[in-house]
A and B are shown apart, each in its own frame.
Chain A
Amino acid sequence: MNIIEVQNEIVEEFSLFEDWMQRYEYMIELGKSIELIDPSNKVDSNLIKGCQSKLWLHAELKDDKLIFKADSEAIITKGIAAVLLRVFSNQTPKNIIEANLEFIDKIGLKEHLSPTRANGLLSMIKQIKYYALAFNKN
């Protein structure tokens, strides 16, 4: 599936929920089955800055696709990371660079985009895009 298809799928899933509690419960569930980063990659250089909880992100190029793995001390952060990984992992660097972020608002997580929030969502998206830029050059 390309990025837009994944985003639409996620938006549809979240639209089934009536209130914030169900959305958060689903996100927490998604976090439990995230592509877990290898413990050997849980190093300081893989930490996303700007997070109140520790959030690690690792990127690897496999064939022409970027594979992301992550982990966090906080469950909700892990859930948000899981949503982002579903959208951006296993995609080409070029597609990641060109992707927009409208889906975040559509699934009711817009508040997490505010820079005052301590969850590093913005930082994580930035880091994903940086990786894509770096791997795109090669």
Chain B
Amino acid sequence: MAFDVNKIREDFPILKRKVNGYPLVYFDNAATSQKPSKVIDSIVDYYSNYNSNIHRGVHSISQEATDAYEDARKKIQEHFNVKDSNEIILTSGTTHSINLVANGFTNLLSKDDEILISELEHHSNIVPWQMMCEKNGAKIKVIPLTSKGELNYDSFLNLLSKKTKLVFVNHVSNALGTINPIKSIISKAHEFGAAVLIDGAQASSHIKADLQELNVDFYTTSAHKLCGPTGIGMLFGKKEWLNKMPPYQGGGEMISEVTFEKTTYADLPHKFEAGTPNIVGAIGFGMALDYLNNLGFDSIESYETELLNYATNKLKEIPGFKMYGEAKHKTSVISFNIGELHSYDIGTILDKFGIAVRTGQHCAQPVMDYFGISGTVRASFSFYNTKEEIDYFCKSLERAVAMLS
């Protein structure tokens, strides 16, 4: 199927807007993606036509809402090729998902245990584990980076031992775009009896992960990164693990029987879904997956790679341009600085030209510390961006540099 980006852009209402009098050029997709009308309409449709609380109601619209919510879970299950839909927990996002697992492992680990965290991680895949280790005494070991912004695989192998119980790596680095070799990381970790949690937040809009093929223990993602609404995400966990973990939040929905003497918990997945969930969010999540699968991930990947290469080659012509993250396999993210200029200055001027990029540390201070920098400008492209936008971006960047020099 030919990839007609101009036709696709018509699906995204926000791309028509102007910023500071200029057409919006949205290059901050790694922070959050824009939403197609199909997703936006599904939210309006839900609240207009069948909004109701789910799972316990006997009336008709409650049934409709419940069906739609559980259909969304099935869509997520199919998309990620998960055997059992009970292994898909709907959460408020990746951060929530990781905290849920960290809470679950608090009493399963002790001071003799080690966990490996990559130096590339977003803070959401570092801090919950630090908090857990404060409670149970487990030790954190860091899988170091290389100068190309890839994980040092040999160091990873050296760090693995009988003591390793958990390994955490992001599928794709939000700061640099590096795609990590998670299949081999998972299989190596399993040789040592360690479980692996892969943070898929950044990957999911670019890569369709097959969780059975990966044989991963936990995989997380957030819908808002893949054209879905904010406030909803998913945690995949192998049944064996989820059944070992205590609930994270207590309340309605996650119980079987409640008395003041004793309360028993619901089965999976509801054990981990306390309270009224983000029903409309789940529906939007499902719609977003439909939309992306309809475009086809192969087409998305090949077009985004074209944009990445086009932009990288053009940017390399700007004097003082320095890119961080030159992994062999990358998603469409370029993290860079120009000479000694601070990323904040560049981002501010680019914004005046209508261009949205992200500046700073990208919630990945260890990555910034590794390169000895205070931050970067990050341009992250999606399948609805164009080469013309990249041309405009490069021209504006040159003007920004001239103003700031």
The residues of A with any CB-CB pair to B shorter than 8 Å are 20-21, 24-25, 28, 52-54, 73-77, 118-119
Q: Which residues of B contact A25 (CB under 8 A)?
A: 403
Selected contact of A52 from candidates B352, B360, B403, CB within 8 Å: B360
Q: Name the residue of chain A whose CB is nearest to the CB of B400.
A: A24
Interface size class of chain B, counting residues whose CB lies under 8 Å from the partner chain: 10 to 19
Q: List 29 A-B contacts (CB under 8 A).
A: A20-B20, A20-B352, A21-B403, A24-B349, A24-B352, A24-B403, A28-B403, A28-B404, A52-B344, A52-B359, A52-B360, A52-B375, A73-B374, A74-B344, A75-B341, A75-B342, A75-B345, A76-B344, A76-B345, A76-B348, A76-B349, A76-B404, A77-B344, A77-B345, A118-B344, A118-B359, A118-B360, A119-B344, A119-B348
Q: Which residues of B contact A20 (CB under 8 A)?
A: 20, 352
9 cross-chain pairs, A with B, having the tightest CB-CB distances, nearest first:
A74-B342, A74-B344, A52-B344, A53-B344, A52-B360, A74-B345, A75-B345, A53-B342, A76-B345
The residues of B with any CB-CB pair to A shorter than 8 Å are 20, 341-345, 348-349, 352, 359-360, 374-375, 403-404
Q: A25-B403, A52-B375, A73-B342 are in contact. List 10 more A-B contacts (CB 8 A).
A: A21-B352, A28-B404, A52-B343, A52-B359, A52-B360, A73-B374, A74-B344, A75-B341, A75-B345, A119-B344
Selected contact of A75 from candidates B352, B359, B404, CB within 8 Å: B404
Q: Name the residue of chain A whose CB is nearest to the CB of B375.
A: A52
A118 to B359, CA, bound (A): 10
Q: Which residues of B contact A28 (CB under 8 A)?
A: 403-404
Q: Which residues of B contact A52 (CB under 8 A)?
A: 343-344, 359-360, 375
A34 to B404, CA, bound (A): 16
A75 to B403, CA, bound (A): 10
A98 to B226, CA, bound (A): 49
Q: Name the residue of chain A whose CB is nearest to the CB of B399.
A: A21
| Residue picked from A21, A54, A76, most chain B C-beta under 10 Å | A76
Q: Name the residue of chain A whose CB is nearest to the CB of B351.
A: A111
Are B374 and A54 in touch, CB under 8 angstroms?
Answer: yes
| Residue picked from B344, B359, B360, B374, most chain A C-beta under 10 Å | B344
A25 to B404, CA, bound (A): 8
**Shortest distance in angstroms between A92's beta carbon and chain B's nearest beta carbon?**
33
Q: Which residues of A contact B20 (CB under 8 A)?
A: 20
**Shortest distance in angstroms between B267's beta carbon and chain A's nearest beta carbon?**
42
A20 to B351, CA, bound (A): 11
Q: Which residues of A contact B348 (CB under 8 A)?
A: 76, 119
Q: Which residues of B contact A73 (CB under 8 A)?
A: 342, 374
Q: Name the residue of chain A whose CB is nearest to the CB of B20.
A: A20
Q: Which residues of B contact A54 (CB under 8 A)?
A: 374
**Shortest distance in angstroms between B15's beta carbon and chain A's nearest beta carbon?**
22
**Shortest distance in angstroms between A44's beta carbon and chain B's nearest beta carbon?**
14
Q: Which residues of A contact B341 (CB under 8 A)?
A: 75
Are B352 and A53 in touch, CB under 8 angstroms?
Answer: no
**Shortest distance in angstroms between A61's beta carbon and chain B's nearest beta carbon?**
31
| Residue picked from A52, A54, A119, most chain B C-beta under 10 Å | A52
**Shortest distance in angstroms between B364's beta carbon and chain A's nearest beta carbon?**
14
A53 to B374, CA, bound (A): 8
**Shortest distance in angstroms between A107's beta carbon and chain B's nearest beta carbon?**
15
A54 to B342, CA, bound (A): 10
Q: Which residues of B contact A24 (CB under 8 A)?
A: 349, 352, 403
A102 to B247, CA, bound (A): 52
A21 to B403, CA, bound (A): 9
Q: Which residues of B contact A21 (CB under 8 A)?
A: 352, 403
A123 to B404, CA, bound (A): 24
